[in-house]
């Protein structure tokens, strides 16, 4: 079933009776060539790219709950590629390029909106750091633009320019950054993968791996045993719990990250704005809600909800940079469990178990990586070698001392 | 979340700083033959349990004691709090 303007018109005239479910409800087969554990954005994207570009069709995606119910439905929908380090920037740029073509690729409206991501800076040192990052981005072929305080004021006159402690000196702007309708990403990949023959099996929880002679043979699930030649795990948030079944210990802690949305307001914020002096970022959804967030709660957590001190901290950051936020009523806040890795960067690699591959450690930035994560994980699963843009995301970088630590925090997951 | 401090009673979480898994108290001997492997595991690998988790908290806004807190990572329920120096001297 293709989507098009004509189709919408036709269905409008026929009382919308011709629409069908977006993907097949599959029942598990006995054996698959490739099994993806985790029906979030990354797992579904992996399955789609495997089926579309690597000639594999006997693929299943196992999801313990329902498609779109995990972090792909809990994030703040921001896409950007404004990283500093060589190991990261080409990967996130690949992701942004895939975002730019995703709607045509999937024939699905993911509402990709390149409304710009603006990082504010408030001191001389921060200006230097942001200039360096902007230059690094441009050297990798990414757009980065320098705004002085006047240009920032023109773009966002509602910010707090009179703050004596944290004056706004300017900003680093990536115009190609923006937001995407997060649920539609999961649905779009699920639909497109299903159309290529991928079985999407919901409410099917992996409870164990059958490993014989160092080679993975099958998974034990809540819907029985399923054999597979190769298994890719993409369950960020719960990576340690799933990989524990295969005796793989990870350089990851699970943490909870909270997000917030206000009541719907008229168009107000032009793009995504981040506050450089407190950890706070904000954008406006197409429905009009102001979507914002800040720091992790900071302690290991598998609870998909946070605590009040961080709510207070995030709201203080918001009031500091955008005082009129205090007039908006908060509609909802929620938490999501994320994989915090030891250097703040992801891992996409084979494991010591033959046939078992791992994709995780996305910290709080997995959503923007969805297309590239799927792209390179499909490459790894199909060809058994790392994709060039993800060649730094290996397990052995910790032992080798080749960390990709954007913030320079060291092995303290809660501070990245 | 409030942490029952052994001396000071229930204290708000915001008075504390979190470090991580209490396995950090068991630092491997750097002079052993397998020190590199042990030290790599010590520095980077974590069990990351869902359920009861022993972890280090520092009472920065209070008596500046390091505590070993046993806490459920799903419910936030705290079942045990000990002084880290006492835990370390027992081992």
Give the span between the Cα atoms of A354 and A214, in whole angstroms: 6
Using CB atoms and an 8 Å cut-off, which of residues 294-323 of chain A contact chain B?
298-303, 307, 309
Residue-range domains of chain B with CATH: 2-90 (3.30.2270.10)
Give the span between the Cα atoms of A281 and A4, in whole angstroms: 35
Give the span between the Cα atoms of A322 and A328, in whole angstroms: 11
Secondary structure class of A38 (helix, strand, coil): coil
Give the span between the Cα atoms of A17 and A173, in whole angstroms: 45
Are A254 and A237 within 8 A, CB to CB?
A: yes
* pLDDT tens, residue by residue, A352-371: 999 999 999 999 999 999 99
Cβ of B73 within 8 Å of Cβ of A300? The answer is yes
pLDDT value at position A25? 92
Q: Which contiguous run of DSSP H or E holds residue A34?
A: strand A31-37
- Mean pLDDT across A323-346: 96
Terminal CA-CA length for chain B: 29
- Mean pLDDT across A273-290: 95
pLDDT value at position A213? 96
> In this structure, what token pair is assigned to residue A242?
């799933």
- Cβ–Cβ contact B1 with A under 8 A: yes
Please compute Rg for chain A using Cα positions: 21
Give the span between the Cα atoms of A230 and A232, in whole angstroms: 7
Buried b (16+ CB within 10 A) or exposed e, A171-202: bbbbebbbbbbbbbbbbbbbbbbbbeebbbbb
- Cβ–Cβ contact B11 with A under 8 A: no
Give the span between the Cα atoms of A72 and A44, in whole angstroms: 11
Contacting residues of A for B77, CB less than 8 Å apart = none
Contacting residues of B for A401, CB less than 8 Å apart = none
Q: Which site among B35, B43, B44, B67 would you substitute to test the A interface, given the most A Cβ atoms closer than 10 Å to its Cβ?
A: B44
Could you tell me the CA-to-CA distances from A58 to A51, A194, A332 in Å, in that order?
8, 11, 41
* Residue B91's pLDDT band (cuts 50, 70, 90): low
Buried b (16+ CB within 10 A) or exposed e, A63-74: bbeebbbbbbbb
pLDDT value at position A103? 97
Half-sphere CA count of A199, side-chain side, radius 13 A: 19
pLDDT value at position B89? 82
* pLDDT tens, residue by residue, A100-144: 999 999 999 999 999 999 999 999 999 999 999 999 999 999 999
Cβ of B21 within 8 Å of Cβ of A307? The answer is no
A71: pLDDT strictly greater than 80: yes
Strand pairing report for A215-221 and A347-350: unpaired
Give the span between the Cα atoms of B68 and B80, in whole angstroms: 8
Q: Which site among B40, B45, B48 would you substitute to test the A interface, given the most A Cβ atoms closer than 10 Å to its Cβ?
A: B48
pLDDT value at position A341? 98
Cβ of A300 within 8 Å of Cβ of B20? The answer is yes
Give CA A269 to chain center in angstroms: 22
The alpha carbon of residue B77 is apart from the nearest alpha carbon of chain A, in Å, by 11
Give CA B80 to chain center in angstroms: 11
Contacting residues of B for A253, CB less than 8 Å apart = 20-21, 46, 48
Cβ atoms within 10 Å, residue A346: 29
* pLDDT tens, residue by residue, B26-79: 999 999 999 999 999 999 999 999 999 999 999 999 999 999 999 999 999 999
Q: Which site among A299, A315, A337 would you substitute to test the B interface, given the most B Cβ atoms closer than 10 Å to its Cβ?
A: A299
Give the span between the Cα atoms of A373 and A368, in whole angstroms: 9
Give the span between the Cα atoms of A189 and A194, in whole angstroms: 8
Nearest CA in chain A to B21: A300
> In this structure, what token pair is assigned to residue B56?
């280090």
Of B45, B74, B76, the CB nearest to A251: B45
Cβ of A300 within 8 Å of Cβ of B12? The answer is no
**Best CA proximity match to A47, nearest among A70, A23, A69:** A23
Give the span between the Cα atoms of A230 and A37, in whole angstroms: 11
Share of chain A above pLDDT 90, in %: 97
A173: pLDDT strictly greater than 90: yes
- Cβ–Cβ contact A249 with B under 8 A: yes
- Class of residue B42 by CB neighbours under 10 A (exposed 0-12, middle 13-18, buried 19+): middle
Contacting residues of A for B36, CB less than 8 Å apart = 399
DSSP symbols for A52-71: HHS----EEEE-SS-TT-SG
DSSP symbols for A139-195: HTT---EEEEHHHHHHH-TTS-TT-SSS---EEEEETT-EE--HHHHHHHHHHHHHH
Complex ipTM above 0.85? yes
Are B15 and B4 within 8 A, CB to CB?
A: no
- Cβ–Cβ contact B20 with A under 8 A: yes
Residue B18 phi, psi dihedral angles, 5° rounding: -95, 135
Contacting residues of B for A342, CB less than 8 Å apart = 43-44
Strand pairing report for A178-179 and A330-341: unpaired
- Cβ–Cβ contact A108 with B under 8 A: no
Strand pairing report for A215-221 and A224-233: antiparallel
pLDDT value at position A134? 98
- Cβ–Cβ contact A57 with B under 8 A: no
Q: Which contiguous run of DSSP H or E holds residue A183?
A: helix A182-195
> In this structure, what token pair is assigned to residue A281?
């970022």
Give CA B27 to chain center in angstroms: 13
């Amino acid at each position: 079933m293709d989507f098009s303007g004509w189709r919408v018109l036709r269905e409008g005239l026929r009382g919308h009776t011709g629409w069908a479910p977006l993907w097949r409800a599959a029942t598990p087969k006995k054996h698959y060539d490739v099994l993806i554990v985790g029906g979030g954005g990354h797992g579904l994207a992996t399955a789609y790219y495997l089926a579309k570009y690597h000639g594999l069709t006997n693929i299943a995606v196992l999801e313990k709950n329902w498609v779109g119910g995990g972090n792909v439905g809990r994030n703040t929908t921001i896409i950007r590629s404004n990283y500093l380090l060589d190991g990261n920037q080409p990967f996130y740029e690949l992701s942004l390029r895939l975002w730019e073509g995703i709607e045509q690729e999937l024939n699905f409206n993911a509402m990709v909106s390149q409304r710009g991501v603006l990082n504010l800076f408030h001191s001389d040192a921060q200006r230097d750091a942001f200039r360096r990052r902007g230059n690094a981005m441009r050297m990798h072929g990414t757009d980065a633009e320098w705004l002085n305080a006047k240009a920032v004021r023109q773009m966002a006159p509602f910010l707090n320019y009179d703050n004596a402690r944290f004056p706004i000196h300017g900003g680093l702007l990536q115009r190609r950054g923006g937001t995407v309708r997060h649920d539609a990403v999961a649905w779009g990949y699920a639909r497109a993968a299903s159309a290529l023959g991928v079985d999407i099996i919901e409410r099917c929880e992996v409870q164990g791996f059958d490993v014989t002679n160092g080679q993975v043979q099958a998974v034990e699930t809540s819907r029985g045993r399923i054999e597979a030649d190769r298994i890719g795990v993409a369950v960020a948030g719960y990576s340690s719990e799933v990989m524990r079944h295969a005796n793989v210990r990870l350089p990851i802690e699970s943490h909870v990250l909270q997000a917030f949305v206000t009541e719907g307001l008229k168009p107000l914020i032009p793009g995504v704005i981040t506050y450089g002096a407190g950890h706070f970022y904000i954008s406006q959804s197409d429905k009009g809600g102001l979507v914002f967030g800040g720091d992790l709660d900071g302690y290991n957590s598998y609870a998909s909800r946070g605590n009040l001190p961080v709510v207070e901290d995030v709201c203080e950051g918001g009031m500091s940079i955008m005082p009129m936020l205090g007039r908006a009523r908060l509609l909802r806040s929620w938490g999501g469990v994320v994989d915090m890795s030891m250097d703040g960067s992801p891992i996409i690699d084979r494991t010591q178990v033959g046939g078992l591959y791992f994709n995780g450690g996305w910290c709080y930035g997995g959503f923007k990586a969805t297309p590239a994560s799927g792209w390179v994980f499909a490459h790894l699963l199909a060809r058994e070698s790392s994709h060039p843009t993800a060649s730094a995301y290996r397990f052995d970088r910790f032992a080798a001392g080749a960390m990709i630590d954007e913030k320079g925090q060291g092995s303290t997951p809660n501070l990245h | 979340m409030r942490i029952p401090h052994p001396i000071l009673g229930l204290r708000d979480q915001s008075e504390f700083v979190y470090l991580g898994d209490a396995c950090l108290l068991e630092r491997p001997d750097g002079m052993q033959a397998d020190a590199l492997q042990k030290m790599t595991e010590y520095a980077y690998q974590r069990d990351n349990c869902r359920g009861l988790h022993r972890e280090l908290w520092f009472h920065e806004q209070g008596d500046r004691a390091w505590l070993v807190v046993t806490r459920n990572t799903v419910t936030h329920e705290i079942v045990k709090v000990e002084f880290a120096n006492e835990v370390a001297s027992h081992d």
